[in-house]
Amino acid sequence: MTDSTTFEIFLAVPPGLETTLAEEAAALGFPAPVTVPGGVTFQGGWPDVWRANLSLRGATRVLARIGSFRVMHLAQLDKRARKFDWAAVLRPDVPVRVEVTCKASKIYHAGAAKQRIEAALRETLGVEVLTGPAVEDAPGADTASEIRLKARIEDDLCTFSIDTTGESLHKRGHKQAMAKAPLRETLAALFLRQCGYDGTEPVVDPMCGSGTFVIEAAEQALGLLPGRGRSYAFEKLASFNVPSWDILKKTTSVRETGLRFYGSDRDAGAIRAATANAERAGVAGITSFHCHAISDLPRPDGPPGLVMVNPPYGARIGEKKLLFALYGALGKTLTERFRGWRVGMVTSDPALAKATALPFLPPAPPVSNGGLKVTLYRTTPLP
């Protein structure tokens, strides 16, 4: 496979956010993105894979679907897997982990299919095949040191996909300090987009935690690529082209902006974490973080923008009953001081959202975040 080879590229996203990710992909110029359950697909080549990993804010990971063929029994799978051109994509010196799923096919035993594919890789490419438990996204795990090959056998069609990302794309590479119950950066970016944010207005987060919403918004305003500070699994593929990648990373320049982005929290530790994260992300010059209660939240000078907030839900932090007063105070402060601003709020409980007394539009469908179902609530400009 060369830089000019084209194939299907799959962008993974939590169910319910496929359309929002497709909108982002189209806005970035990826050709004809199509929504499918759990993601977005489009046709492209290896440079598109690299650019998708580097520039998409909402995708969780990027899969390259490198080939497919019909299989009716295990002997046929064994023969065709041995004839597959693995050397065009995989390197013999980089370990591979094989994952197989079977659905509605004559080959129904995923374990047996996995053994055939692993044997083909060992005996035709000479690659080390990893068989122990996966450590994906475990703290300190070097997931880019191995390649994950996914084989899906569905309706007797075997499709091979390579996970080109490695660690999930929400790991931007600059957030080292974490607050309680964090929202993943990829979700934060998609929620900002659903609220109409495009990098041209100020953003305030009055319960900023480790600063995710503020940093994502500031990065977008400056035109900073979300994946600029990390490594990827595709860098260890045979199809990787270092000079092309280096050129791609230099194609986007930082923009000037007169906007500022504000975060506050009553937890001084969270403010220290957010400030440090903003410095690592390169947005310290346009962000401000302060420690104070919701009732002390000031309205920034200048034009209205977006208040984006991910308050505690109660499912993780303390008792839910204690949060109704907090949500009520948030709604009161925003109603009194933020006329003309829009509000986006993420929570797991409709009753807590209602406690703000804010004029929310019909909510978006719930999505999964760290094992919890959360919902985005939005307003038009507050009267």
Total number of domains in the chain:
2
112 and 213 inside one domain: no
Which is nearest to 43 in space by CA: 83, 67, 7? Answer: 7
What residue numbers bound the domain in which 332 lies? Answer: 185-378
269 and 218 inside one domain: yes
Cβ pair 338, 262 in contact under 8 A: no
Within a domain: residue 370? yes
pTM beyond 0.85:
yes
Which is nearest to 163 in space by CA: 235, 240, 61? Answer: 61
Cβ pair 328, 357 in contact under 8 A: yes
Which one of 163, 198, 218 terminates a domain? 163
CATH number at residue 54: 3.30.2130.30
206 and 292 inside one domain: yes
Q: Rounded CA gap, 293 and 287, in Å?
A: 19
List per-residue pLDDT tens for the chain, 383 residues long. 556 689 999 999 999 999 999 999 999 999 999 999 999 999 999 999 999 999 999 999 999 999 999 999 999 999 999 999 999 999 999 999 999 999 999 999 999 999 999 999 999 999 999 987 765 544 444 555 689 999 999 999 999 999 999 999 999 988 776 656 678 999 999 999 999 999 999 999 999 999 999 999 999 999 999 999 999 999 999 999 999 999 999 887 789 999 999 999 999 999 999 999 999 999 999 999 999 999 999 999 999 999 999 999 875 555 777 899 999 999 999 999 999 999 999 999 999 999 999 999 999 899 998 788 999 999 999 99
327 and 210 inside one domain: yes
> Token digits for 165?
């990302």
**CA distances for 114 relative to 149, 152, 203, angstroms:** 10, 10, 48
Within a domain: residue 177? no
Q: Rounded CA gap, 88 and 98, in Å?
A: 17
Which one of 111, 128, 163 terminates a domain? 163
